[in-house]
Amino acid sequence: MSKASEYREMSADQLKFALKETQDELFRLRFQSSTERLDAPSSLRKLRQDIARIKTIQREQKSVEQAS
């Protein structure tokens, strides 16, 4: 997990990669959760928050590009 400031320093391609990795990790944890093998249920929430952060920053960058 990263802070929003770390995500803001990334390029658009790096953000896409980070989003894909985070979504894949969330999928794996959801699968573990359904089979009752998840050690830390709070990690699901943290990953969802990271996905929301990344998408927000992507949207911010897109709106800045369109304004220029």
Domain count for the chain: 1
Neighbours of 12 (CB within 10 A): 12
pLDDT the model gives residue 2: 61
* Residues 27, 63: Cα–Cα separation, whole Å: 29
Supply the pTM of this predicted model: 0.87
CATH of the domain at 46: 1.10.287.310
| Chain segment 37-68, per-residue pLDDT in tens | 888 889 999 999 999 999 999 999 998 888 87
Contacts 24+ apart (CB under 8 A), 54-61: 54/7, 54/15, 54/18, 54/19, 54/22, 55/19, 56/4, 57/4, 57/7, 57/8, 57/10, 57/15, 58/12, 58/15, 58/16, 58/19, 61/12, 61/15
Segments forming the whole domain that contains residue 48: 4-67
